[in-house]
């Protein structure tokens, strides 16, 4: 059983020991005054020795004093060790063990102290929140040990840059917070410091002979911009500004502005709406006509996803697709609209093709080809009528995986086209090595074709390239008679654009095809539509 501890930190056993030792000292003084003189005279031969009982009592007192002194020394050592352990525990609780920076738990108190001192000095503080760009990619590609090395290097570089008195904390996996006082009349000094931070942190880090780059996005919030200015509020504002910096292209700086908070709130609503809308069947396919320029005949459609939101109305893909890609919902979203589109296209004339766009995120899925084949089997849709469109920019993420994916799709009879050609950096060697069936010229070159000699030269070169490689060409963005006339000099082109009509939902598309006698009247009863499909057709 452990001894109970008093408020002073001493156990009852220690108190008793100290009490006995103190009593022994008093008794030693008393007995020693009688025993020692007599013992000294006896030694000198001038008298009798001391009383044996008193001599024994004095010896016992000496023993008790020594015992008490020994316990006192042990207690002193225990106090020192306890203080050291408490200091170490406090340090572990307040700092990040990997980088030595403060952690999330301690940054608020340190920041509030700095804010109070800045107010006394008639100064302001700025909170800078830093996030390493693509840090997950570094971990996945080079290992978590490499990621730790990047974090340590970033912390060391930040310490070297920040002025004395500044606070540095690691508040998340790859997030750092810097808090420092500044003169509100000289905000340019903060921007210069942050520009140096962005530049220094982005310097290459050597990891086992491999040079790794990790850029940083930085959000800033200052305490003198009005409203609440406690540290937690400033961290929240800096976080919003950092998110804005990432959306603007990463590796840059952004100051907080009130409009950013509204934008972030809208973004949060978008994310929740997308996740809800996928399962509720709110994403539906629209269809844009594709025309053979030589004959003027309708040869197929490109499927374009639209979001029929109950709160936002009809939302275009330029808004929801980037968000869906970032939150990891694009695969499920894309598969849901492709499933609907394949069922819709079963009722079209068999000579009409269906083209669908594939996100670069889906191309990273090694099972994508098998998932697409499963959708074709479920819809009983011929693979040769389906054309998958891959953007040119996606070729540079993993050319080996893209090549394998294209080959797998083509082995199933699916055709593959290179979309938005001319906006990326595809080389002739890549086009020759990747078995594309078609090239689609980006609309930015087509829409200004009549008035741009430069674009006419580019389009002419792309068409010649397609002819040389045996790849037919589609022109996107045909929106006027002038553009159509400018394309008249090229042979073998397909075209699509608003000149031939706006993209339409499934029921409108089917009605127009019936008027053109381009539908397949199904004699057998079609399978019952799923709830999501029924909602899509009513939209």
* Domain coverage including residue 209: 104-256
Q: Is the pLDDT of residue 536 over 50?
A: no
Do 363 and 442 lie in one domain? The reply is yes
In a domain, 57, yes or no: yes
**Domain match, 79 and 108 both:** no
**Whether residue 383 is found in the same domain as residue 504:** yes
Question: Which of 472, 478, 395 has the alpha carbon at shortest distance from 434?
Answer: 395
Whether the predicted pLDDT of 6 surpasses 80: no
More confident residue, 226 or 6: 226
**What's the pLDDT score for residue 329?**
93
**Domain-located, residue 455:** yes
Q: What is the pLDDT of residue 355?
A: 96
Do both 55 and 108 map to the same domain? no
Q: Is residue 272 in some structural domain? A: no
> What is the model's pLDDT at position 334?
95
How confident is the model over 394-415, as a mean pLDDT? 82
For tokens 């800078």, name the residue: 128
Give the per-residue pLDDT at 36.
Answer: 60
pLDDT in tens, 210-261: 888 888 999 999 888 765 578 888 998 999 999 888 887 778 898 888 888 8
Q: Is residue 532 part of a domain?
A: no
The pLDDT > 90 percentage for the chain reads: 34
Q: Answer whether residue 438 is part of any domain.
A: yes
pLDDT at residue 406 tops 80: yes
Q: Report the percent of the chain where pLDDT is more than 70.
A: 78
The domain that contains 339 carries what CATH number? 3.20.20.450
Distance CA 428, CA 201 (A): 36
- The beta-strand segments (E) located in 310-426 are 313-315, 353-358, 386-391, 415-421
Give the three-class secondary structure for 127: strand
Q: Are residues 143 and 189 in the same domain?
A: yes
Residues 158, 54 share a domain? no
Return the bridge partners of 288, or none: 302
- For the residues 452-463, what does the mean pLDDT come to? 88
> Could you give the C-alpha distances from 511 to 314, 349, 508, 515, 519, in angstroms and in order?
21, 13, 5, 7, 9
Give the pLDDT band of residue 529 (cuts 50, 70, 90): very low
How high is the mean pLDDT of the chain? 82
CA nearest to 510, candidates 345, 335, 380: 345
Residues 309 and 180 in one domain: no
Does residue 524 belong to any structural domain of this protein?
no
- Indicate whether 77 and 114 sit together in one domain: no
Boundary of a domain, candidates 36, 69, 94: 94
Instruction: Provide the pLDDT confidence category of residue 531 given band limits of 50, 70 and 90.
Output: very low
* pLDDT above 70 (res 459): yes
Q: Residue 86 has what pLDDT? A: 58
Q: What is the CATH number of the domain that holds 138?
A: 3.30.70.270
pLDDT tens-digit series, residues 44-59: 666 665 566 666 666 6
The residue among 24, 59, 94 that closes a domain is 94
Evaluate whether residue 270 is within a structural domain.
no
Torsion of CA 266, 271, 275, 277, to 10 degrees: 30
> On the CB side of 427, how many CA atoms lie within 13 Å of its CA?
5
β-strand partners of 495: 291, 475
Burial 1-34 (b: 16+ CB within 10 A, else e): eeeeeeeeeeeeebeebeeebeebeebbeebbee
Q: Name the range with the highest mean pLDDT among 4-8, 141-145, 323-327, 513-517.
A: 513-517
**pLDDT tens readout for residues 146-181:** 889 999 999 999 999 999 889 999 988 889 999 999
Do 300 and 179 share a structural domain? no
Phi and psi for 272 in degrees, rounded to 5?
-65, -40
Q: Which of 7-21, 150-164, 193-207, 430-444 has the lowest mean pLDDT?
A: 7-21
Q: Is 32 or 100 the better-scoring residue by pLDDT?
A: 100
Structural domain count, the chain: 3
CA distance 309 to 416: 31
**Residues 237 and 256: beta-carbon distance below 8 Å:** yes
Worst-scoring range by mean pLDDT, 107-111, 396-400, 412-416, 449-453? 396-400
Contact 314, 307 (CB under 8 A): yes
β-partners of residue 102 are 95, 169
CA distance 323 to 409: 27
Instruction: Please tell me the distance from the alpha carbon of residue 427 to that of residue 259, in angstroms, as a whole number.
Output: 42
pLDDT of residue 359 exceeding 80: yes
CA 414/CA 463 separation, integer angstroms: 23
pLDDT computed for residue 127 by the predictor: 92
pTM for this predicted structure = 0.64
Rounded to an integer, what distance in angstroms lies between the CA atom of residue 151 and that of residue 155? 6
Contacts with 464 (C-beta within 8 Å, 6 or more apart), sequence order: none
Query: CA 85, 89, 90, 92 torsion: positive or negative?
Result: positive
- Residues 409 and 499 both lie in one domain: yes
Does residue 47 sit within a domain? yes
Give yes or no: residues 402 and 324 share one domain.
yes
Q: Are residues 133 and 81 in the same domain?
A: no
Residues with Cβ within 8 Å of residue 487, at least 6 apart in sequence: 293, 446, 449, 459, 475, 478, 493, 495
DSSP 383: G
| CA angle (63, 68, 74) in 5-degree steps | 130
């Amino acid at each position: 059983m452990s001894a109970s501890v008093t408020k002073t930190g001493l156990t009852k056993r220690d108190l008793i020991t100290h009490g006995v030792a103190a009593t022994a000292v008093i008794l030693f003084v008393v007995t020693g005054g009688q025993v020692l003189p007599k013992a000294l005279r006896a030694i000198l031969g001038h008298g009798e020795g001391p009383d044996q009982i008193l001599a024994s009592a004095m010896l016992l007192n000496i023993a008790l004093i020594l015992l008490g002194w020994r316990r006192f020394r042990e207690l002193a050592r225990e106090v020192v060790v306890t203080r050291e352990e408490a200091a170490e525990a406090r340090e572990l609780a307040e700092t990040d063990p990997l980088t030595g920076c403060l952690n999330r738990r301690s940054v608020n108190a340190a920041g509030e102290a700095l804010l109070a001192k800045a107010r006394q000095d008639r100064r302001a503080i700025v909170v800078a929140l830093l996030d390493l760009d693509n840090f997950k990619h570094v971990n996945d590609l080079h290992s978590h040990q490499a990621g730790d090395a990047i974090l340590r290097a970033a912390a060391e570089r930040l310490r070297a840059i920040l002025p004395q008195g500044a606070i540095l904390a690691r508040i998340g996996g790859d997030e750092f917070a810097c808090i420092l006082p500044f003169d509100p009349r000289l905000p340019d000094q903060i921007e210069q410091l942050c520009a140096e931070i962005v530049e220094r942190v982005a310097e290459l880090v050597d990891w086992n002979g491999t040079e790794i780059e990790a850029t940083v996005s930085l959000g800033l919030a200052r305490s003198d911009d009005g409203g609440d200015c406690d540290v937690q509020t400033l961290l929240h504002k800096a976080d919003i500004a950092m998110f804005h910096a990432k959306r603007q292209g990463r590796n840059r700086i952004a100051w907080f502005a009130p409009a950013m908070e509204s934008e972030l709130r809208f973004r949060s609503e978008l994310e929740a709406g997308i996740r809800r809308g996928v399962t509720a069947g709110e994403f539906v396919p629209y269809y844009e006509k594709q025309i053979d320029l030589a004959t003027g005949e309708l040869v197929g459609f490109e499927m374009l996803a639209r979001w029929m939101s109950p709160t936002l109305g009809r939302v275009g893909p330029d808004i929801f697709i980037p968000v869906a890609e970032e939150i990891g919902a694009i695969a499920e979203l894309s598969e849901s609209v492709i499933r609907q589109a394949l069922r819709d296209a079963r009722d079209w004339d068999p000579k009409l093709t269906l083209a669908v766009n594939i996100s670069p995120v889906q191309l990273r899925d090694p099972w994508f080809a098998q998932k697409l084949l499963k959708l074709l089997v479920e819809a009983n849709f011929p693979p040769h009528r389906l054309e998958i469109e891959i953007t040119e920019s996606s070729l540079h993420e993993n050319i080996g995986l893209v090549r394998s994916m294209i080959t797998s799709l083509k082995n199933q009879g699916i055709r593959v086209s290179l979309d938005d050609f001319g906006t990326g950096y595809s080389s002739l060697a890549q086009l020759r090595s990747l078995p594309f069936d078609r090239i689609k010229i980006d609309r930015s070159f087509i829409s200004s074709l009549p008035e741009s000699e430069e674009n006419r030269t580019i389009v002419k070169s792309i068409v010649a390239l397609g002819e040389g490689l045996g790849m037919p060409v589609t022109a996107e963005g045909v929106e006027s008679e002038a553009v159509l006339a400018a394309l008249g000099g090229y042979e073998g082109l397909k075209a699509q654009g608003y000149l031939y009509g706006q993209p339409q939902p499934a029921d409108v598309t089917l009605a127009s095809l019936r008027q053109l006698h381009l539908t397949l009247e199904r004699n057998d009863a079609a399978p019952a539509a799923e709830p999501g499909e029924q909602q899509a057709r009513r939209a």
